[in-house]
Amino acid sequence: MNADYPRSLAILGQDLLARDKEAPLNFADWLANHLADFQLPPFLPDLARLEELVAEVGRLDLDLAPSPEGSMVNPTLRLAQFSWQNLVPILAGRAEEGEPGEQLVLIWRLASGAVRYKNAGPRDLLALKLVEEHVELAQVAREHQVTLAYLDRILERAEQEEYILVPATTLSRDPSVFKANDFISAKHLSSSTFTLQWHITQACDLHCKHCYDRTSRQAVDFEQGLAILDDFRAFCREHHVCGQVTFTGGNPLLYPRFSELYQAASERGFQLAILGNPTSPAVLAELQAVQPLEFYQVSLEGLAGHNDHIRGPGHFQRSIDFLAVLQEMGIYSMVMLTLTRANQNQVLALAEILKDKVDLFNFNRLALVGEGAQLLSAPTESYEEFLERYEEASLSNPCMGRKDNHLNALFARQGNASFGGCTGYGCGAAFNFVSLLAEGEVHACRKFPSFIGNICDNTLAEIYHSPAARKYRSGSQACRACEIRAVCGGCLAVTHGMGLDVFTDKDPYCFFS
């Protein structure tokens, strides 16, 4: 018995218990019967009952695997009501005295075997009600005039604490194509986050020489935009993933009702980010007041002269100034460079300039698509050497990121550990992200024509599970037997741009064998 009631016995004292000649059948009841006899603290029986529940839950041998059907209450959970408050702090060693008053306490066991207990607050009880009664969140949000994001946060906290159990993500790689091995962790085979890269407008205040698409596309109106966000939320809940909306374009800030759309996305519980052009501190402040950005990414194409040749006069300095604004406002900043033959020898110099100005600097290889087809790609024959120099420089430059999948080929040759590749899962086209164009077309990747459906005609779930999307997810047949496939797969856009078949041919930059 001593092991089950450590705090109660410490307060009681073993000598008092020994005075009773009959061993108590129920320690809490025994304490209640002897309060006056031994002048015991009146909260002690309730403390013993709490300790008894903690011990009982710790001995439960129940399956804590979540139901694949949806969220469920942890089967070990006990909800107990006590006549005294402050019991949880006493049990945790943070208090000495109880206080009169009703208190609900949650006790449950984690998958690790550890037992947790806490006072049950209104949000805890709401989380349990939402899950136990399978309540429709949208209806609750309307009735109580709260956002879906508010309800999501309540559920997420319960899920993190494990008194609500959630199914694993259903976004998993095809095991016949993607396999874990000594180089690739199983974490690279399933994604708990899905990104909707939403090119909400073709309008842009720049005219870059490598633009993938300058065609005219009529953007969906605001009401259609709300329907898209609702559909995306349904997709995320169905697949048990966290949703991120990355607004881009064109310049997303030129969408006529962008701030309202941003607000609507926030209310639906999505992480939010922007791939765009420099803007004013006032615009940033307005967005931050609604929901802090996960990141804001701008592009630079090399040193000032070359960058401004590609993106327009004065763009380089405007971007550098804007990075300072992001830094001052505490917004995670990213810079992306499109690698070409003309700027390859400027990458490391630019990274050095950005060293203390940006949180993350990355590059993507040019896809010879749209106006970018007029430029020259970086040479394939020296690409491995370029990656070696890039990786060596990154050791002393914390802003230099790893994005290109072929870095994993380099690491595999060197015997170093892998990283997640372009999207955290090698080529993530139609796997952990899709690109949604202004008028509703959905593509596996924005950098080349990869149509998989139209969100105005079908749900995102229908598009995601379509044969076209599955084909892009599988990637090239040429990569199927490769041991680093799950964190590489090359770049389909680059392969396409060089006149090859993305479903049968290897990325021409591949040097791994």
Per-residue pLDDT of the chain (513 residues; tens, 9 = 90+): 567 889 988 888 766 666 555 555 688 998 898 888 888 899 999 999 999 999 999 999 999 998 888 899 999 999 999 999 999 999 998 988 999 999 999 999 999 999 999 999 999 999 999 999 998 999 999 999 999 999 999 999 999 999 999 999 999 998 888 988 888 888 889 999 999 999 999 999 988 988 888 788 899 999 999 999 999 999 999 999 999 999 999 999 999 999 999 999 999 999 999 999 999 999 999 999 999 999 999 999 999 999 999 999 999 999 999 999 999 999 999 999 999 999 999 999 999 999 999 999 999 999 999 889 999 999 999 999 999 999 999 999 999 999 999 999 999 999 999 999 999 999 999 999 999 999 999 999 999 999 999 999 999 999 999 999 999 999 999 999 999 999 999 999 999 999 999 999 999 999 997
Structure tokens at 439: 């008028």
Instruction: Quote the tokens at residue 192.
Output: 């708990």
- pTM for this entry: 0.90
Residue whose C-alpha is closest to residue 60's, from 105, 115, 8, 1: 115
331 and 295 in contact (C-beta within 8 Å)? yes
Sign of the four-CA dihedral 131, 433, 435, 363:
positive
Question: How far is residue 285's CA from residue 2's CA, in Å, rounded to a whole number?
Answer: 58
Q: Is 468 in a helix, a strand, or coil?
A: helix
Task: Give the bridge partners for 72, in sequence order.
Answer: 165
> CA 350 → CA 78, 175, 309, 390, distances in Å?
58, 40, 15, 12
Listed in sequence order, the residues at least 6 apart from 353 whose beta carbon sits closer than 8 Å to its beta carbon are 303, 320
HSE, side-chain direction, 13 A CA sphere, residue 479: 34
